[in-house]
Amino acid sequence: MNLGSWLELIASGLITGGIYALVALGLNLQYGLMRILNIAHGEFLMLGAFLTWAAHESLGLSPLLMIPLSFVLLALLGLVVHRLVFRPLTRSSPTVEVFEARALMVSFGLMFLVQNFAQYLWGGDLRGYDYMTEPVAFGGAGGAQFAANKLLLLALALLFSGALILLLRYTLLGKGVRALMQSPTGAQLVGIDTERLHPAMFALGLGLSGVAGCLLSMTYTISPSMGEPYTVTALIVITLGGFGSMAGALVGGLGLGVIEAIGMHYTSPSLKALVSYAIFIAVLLWRPNGLFTRK
């Protein structure tokens, strides 16, 4: 392989990894803060993708315009889901462990509910549209070429991921979130309002999934069943980076994307899941707290 081929291979992994990271950040935020392992997280990504496709096909709206709209719509849906589903569970569960188990079961139900609703509304066929498909050549990089929409996907995924990490690290809101992740009881004792922070962060997580779905729709075909694999991959990424570690989720997502791309190149695309699960099991055995979490 020449330099251009290597760059295209690594770039394709980073592009996929950018979506992995964006999805994992939202799920990591929900679990790290509220102990909600939202198995339905990928289905909201799917909703964001279909909303973008429908707006583009029916109304002619640009996918770039749909990015903030998808974020807002999915965030509002997140507020509704949290209020109707997870807040009552919080109040009725005697312990955190009981709440985690109940929330996991409820999220399974949500997953099938959202998936079947989308299939009823849009059908089960693959959908897609052309947007910025022209290749961009880099003459000084061994003749490497990349589709413009995929370069845009990577740039925006990194932008949103970086913005969330900066928000959590340098703002007062972020300090409150990190305090709740480290010690929920201590955070409440110093006056942090969990009644407002929990639904806001749950909504933020679903908003990011909507953005990820919007970006995916610009580059790949979509279907009502597309969400499940991204949820599973997000769990692998969170395991790599460490539960509660946002920077770890970003690095883990990008790293997993590159490893999958190289693995598929030297083996077979059908072994993509095998590579991911092998890494997942190895990290669980070697560093169960994650590669980027301090012991």
* Partner residues linked to 146 by β-bridges: 136
Q: What is the pLDDT of residues 21-38, one digit of tens each?
A: 999 999 999 988 888 999
Which pLDDT score, from 0 to 100, does residue 1 have? 65
Half-sphere exposure of 72 (CA within 13 A, CB side): 5
* Cβ proximity of 250 and 230 under 8 Å: no
59-to-19, 52, 63, 66 alpha-carbon distances in Å: 26, 10, 11, 11
Q: Is the pLDDT assigned to residue 226 strictly greater than 80?
A: yes
**In the structure, what pLDDT confidence band is assigned to residue 175 with cuts at 50, 70 and 90?**
confident
pLDDT in tens, 56-88: 999 999 999 999 999 999 999 999 999 999 999
Q: Read off the pLDDT of residues 108-146 as tens digits, 9 standing for 90 and up.
A: 999 999 999 999 999 989 999 999 888 887 765 556 788
Predicted confidence (pLDDT) at residue 4 exceeds the cutoff of 80: no
* Angle (deg, nearest 10), helices 194-219 and 3-34: 160
In the block, which residue shows the tokens 């790949």? 220
- Cβ distance 201 to 81 under 8 Å? no
Q: What is the pTM of this model?
A: 0.92
Q: What is the pLDDT of residue 143?
A: 66
Cα–Cα nearest to 230, from 71, 56, 60, 24 = 24
Q: What residue ranges do the domains of the chain occupy?
A: 3-225
